[in-house]
Amino acid sequence: MKKMFSTLAFGVLALSSPISSMAGTLDIGEETHLIFMREEEKLARDVYLTLNGIYPDSNTFWNIGDGSEQTHTDTVRDMLATYGIEDPNPDANNLPDSIGVFTGADYGWYFTEKFSLLVSWGSQSLLDAWYVGAFIEELDMIDIIGCPKVIVETDPIIDAGECGMDYTDETRLKTMYSHLVAGSEDHLRAYVQNIENIIGEGNYVAQVLPQEQVDAILGR
């Protein structure tokens, strides 16, 4: 069951926050998750565009970062607008100045740290960069479908299982999240293909998802 705003506990927030003024059909878990995913999709875009600058001969980073991930973060932005929720990163499309800049009040710090760590890892070699891409896509699927670990650990209101695609009953959100998951599956296949061109076909080991789920995505 969705956990709705408590009038008593959140009355002040409801009066002062723009995220609650129009999004009457979303609860706190759905709103928080949607805000989180805006910057998570931007994280993927920013890392891929940065790695493309390091490895300019690799078209995959550019194609996914400038194409699909830009579309994904814009799609989440538009969904925020649909529900009247404030965009945590309104300057996200001011390229290149917005690369690596995360301004969300609750999770900007998380994405800023993760951006630095992932770029540092991917800078070591092209193979490492491919692994970064695969890692991002595996984690993205987990965070889209369920409630991201960092939300559960830092938000005193939202418990595990109280946000994400499997939690919401909003058709528009479920449809959007399903498309994002399908995109992540496509991207994972692309990155694994590049990885296995180096380490050998069939040798990719799942980094975050269960191995059997990754194998199913890869058609094995």
pTM, entire model: 0.86
pLDDT surpassing 60 at residue 186: yes
pLDDT at site 41 = 95
CA 181 to chain centre: 10
User: Which residues have a Cβ under 8 Å from the Cβ of 90 and sit 6 or more positions away?
Assistant: 103
- The superfamily CATH assigns to domain 21-217 is Ferritin, core subunit, four-helix bundle (1.20.1260.10)
Q: Which whole number is the average pLDDT over 74-86?
A: 94
pLDDT at position 69 is: 81
Share of the chain above pLDDT 90, in %: 80
Reply yes or no on whether the pLDDT at 60 is more than 90. no
Reply yes or no on whether the pLDDT at 211 is more than 90.
Answer: yes
Question: Could you give the percent of the chain with pLDDT greater than 70?
Answer: 89
CA distance 193 to 204: 9
Euclidean distance between CA atoms 49 and 61, whole angstroms: 6
Q: What is the pLDDT of residues 108-162, one digit of tens each?
A: 999 999 999 999 999 999 999 999 999 999 999 999 999 999 999 999 999 999 9
3-state helix vs strand vs coil in the chain, percent to 5: 65, 0, 35
Q: Could you state, in order of their start, the residue ranges of all structural domains in the chain? A: 21-217
Between 17-26, 46-55, 106-115, 195-204, the lowest mean confidence (pLDDT) is in: 17-26
Mean pLDDT of the chain: 88
Question: Does position 21 have pLDDT exceeding 80, yes or no?
Answer: no
What is the average pLDDT across 46-74?
A: 87
Q: Which of 8-12, 71-75, 116-120 has the highest mean pLDDT?
A: 116-120
Q: Is the pLDDT of residue 17 over 80?
A: no
Given a cut of 60, whether residue 59 has pLDDT beyond it is: yes
Q: Is the pLDDT of residue 36 over 80?
A: yes
Dist CA 91 CA 74 (whole Å): 11
What is the predicted pLDDT for the residue at 86?
A: 94
Half-sphere exposure at residue 5, Cβ-oriented, CA atoms within 13 angstroms: 20
Residue 97 to residue 214: CA distance in whole angstroms: 35
